[in-house]
Structure 1
């Protein structure tokens, strides 16, 4: 989990509190407002599209927040509604305890994500979030309307045990800091707050052990940056073994965190992945 930009952890530019509307639409999750808003505690909808035909559930990197996906949501076609997950213990849920293990977190996500797969749904995860998306895909019931899985910047699940641990000053070296953020991190309390979220997610990932199970039938698109220090394209290609459906890998000119700052190549790669899933399901993407 390299190259973590602090601006996407605790200082999200896209979360203007004056525009937030807290809503809860029940199991269907149908949002009526076109303004950015929350749906219960779990989701941030940066560009709500109630008429969309595809619901894209997004899970951020270690320590990351839902506004990681704000620019992506703005750049995707109007047929796509982005639902970005807000994890316990950070952002608007800062006072909540972080889960003790990955299974607990996945179980919590399962109870809120799967009932909302009421329209054609795609799971997208970046880095640590790719592991969450994969585990949710494994647990989706037979009747779930899941069109595909997009994994970004993470080695295949059975290779994660080889990860080397990182904490404290090692993590600071991986942060992409602006001058303002560097000044903020000189405060020890702020520094501890920022690192605690990153370290909590890394502990969950580093304790993960993949259990053997039949491969998914869901198609997978794997996206990786050609300058990613954490995973190579060859390693990313190992995701092919985890589906009996179609597999496609996309290499983009970027580092570890591909989905950020509205990079055109990220929006293009995700759009094409969604089109691949739509064509497979007999529905032309636009």
Structure 2
């Protein structure tokens, strides 16, 4: 296993369940590590660290979703030795979705709970003008308007220039991603959104249901697309309440 993929904010070797987290485009483990301490003691968080950022900043970023998920599936297997859940925000939801599909295809363990956050249903086509093809200056300005980039980075042109290849790579994957068929996943489904997120309206959030057998539980926070950062405390409290019920969780959501 390539251990560089995964960060454990708080090691909990006796945890009953793992919460495996997938960051948004341009994101890193930092978004999730701040939530780890507020999870129930029986839940161990694992945060995905993609190449091109953080401790893997020297590695080239992926631009192909299929290749990314294939490599990730190979290295994540040692973490699937106990019940686990997937939690992805925006781009991360799509990586988690494709990983789930590949794990199921190969007969590997699959998540008991899938939390899709800030993301349209994976079979929906991207209807926004793609930004990954924009010239450098326009791309950077668009990224700043979208938000999610740390202020100390967004306000420093040299730092932004360093982050641009990784950001462009992530947006290449998310803007080109569209599931080609509906799945019949058995995991319990929770969908999170922001009431002020114009990029992912309510009707697009509900489209996740098409891929899951169990009825979804949908909750919207009062923030915009990056409510996972702006409303971190509320997100942490929601996750805490949701996961406190494990191991009865999956049965209650799927019933």
Q: What TM-score, normalized to structure 2?
A: 0.86
Distance 1:182 1:193 in 2: 11
Q: Does 1:91 align with 2:43?
A: no
Distance 1:62 1:193 in 2: 15
Partner residue, 1:30: none
2:182–2:211 CA contact under 8 A, matched in 1? no
Q: Residues 160 and 276 from structure 1, CA distance in 2 versus in 1: closer, same or farther, beyond 3 angstroms?
A: farther
The structure with the largest helix share of the pair is 2
Distance 1:234 1:209 in 2: 17
Question: SS of the counterpart of 1:260?
Answer: helix
Q: 1:133 aligns with which of 69, 81, 96?
A: 96
Question: SS of the counterpart of 1:75?
Answer: coil
Q: CA deviation at 1:230?
A: 1.5
Partner residue, 2:140: 168
Q: CA deviation at 1:155?
A: 0.3
Q: CA deviation at 1:194?
A: 1.9
1:69–1:260 CA contact under 8 A, matched in 2? no
Q: Deviations over 1:161-183 (max 9, x none)?
A: 32321233211222357764454
Partner residue, 2:122: 157
Q: Does 1:220 align with 2:220?
A: no
1:150–1:273 CA contact under 8 A, matched in 2? no
Q: CA deviation at 1:261?
A: 6.2
Question: SS of the counterpart of 2:236?
Answer: helix
Q: CA deviation at 1:229?
A: 2.6
Q: Deviations over 1:171-218 (max 9, x none)?
A: 1222357764454x133xx22112222211000111223121432121
Distance 1:209 1:116 in 2: 27
Q: 1:117 aligns with which of 75, 80, 92?
A: 80
Gaps of 5+ in 2: 132-138
Distance 1:86 1:155 in 2: 23
2:118–2:200 CA contact under 8 A, matched in 1? yes
Point out the more displaced range, 117-126 or 213-222: 213-222
Distance 2:217 2:78 in 1: 28
Q: CA deviation at 1:282?
A: 5.8
Partner residue, 1:266: 235
Question: SS of the counterpart of 1:162?
Answer: coil
Q: Residues 160 and 265 from structure 1, CA distance in 2 versus in 1: closer, same or farther, beyond 3 angstroms?
A: farther
1:46–1:73 CA contact under 8 A, matched in 2? yes
Partner residue, 1:255: 224
1:219–1:245 CA contact under 8 A, matched in 2? yes
Partner residue, 1:33: none
Q: Residues 73 and 131 from structure 1, CA distance in 2 versus in 1: closer, same or farther, beyond 3 angstroms?
A: same
Distance 1:176 1:136 in 2: 24
1:72–1:260 CA contact under 8 A, matched in 2? no
Q: 2:157 aligns with which of 186, 208, 227?
A: 186
Q: CA RMSD in A?
A: 2.3
Distance 1:197 1:234 in 2: 30
